Structure 1
Amino acid sequence: MLSAQCGWVLGCLVFTLLHQRAQAAAAAEGTLRHSSPEETTADPDSESVTCYTCVNVSDNLVCNRFAIDRPCPQGEDFCHTLHIMDSRGHSVIVNKKCTDRSECSPKRVGCLDIDTQKVCVSCCDEMYCNESAPSNHTTATYSATRARRREQRLQRLGAPAGGGCRHGCLLTSFALAALARA
Structure 2
Amino acid sequence: MKTDSPKKNRFHLLVPTLNLCFAATMMAANHFAAEIAQFLAGTILFALSDLIYFHVSTTPFPKSFKCFTCDQAHDNYNCNRWAEDTWCPQNTQFCMTVHHFTSHGKTKSVTKRCAAREDCYMECVSCCEGMICNIEVPTNYTNAVFAKRQTVYSSAPPQRTRALLTIASLGLSRLFAG
Shared fold (TM-score greater than 0.5)? Answer: no
Length-normalised TM-score, structure 2: 0.36
TM-score, length basis structure 1: 0.35
CA radius of gyration, larger in: 2
If asked which structure has higher relative contact order (CA below 8 Å, sep 6+), I would say 1
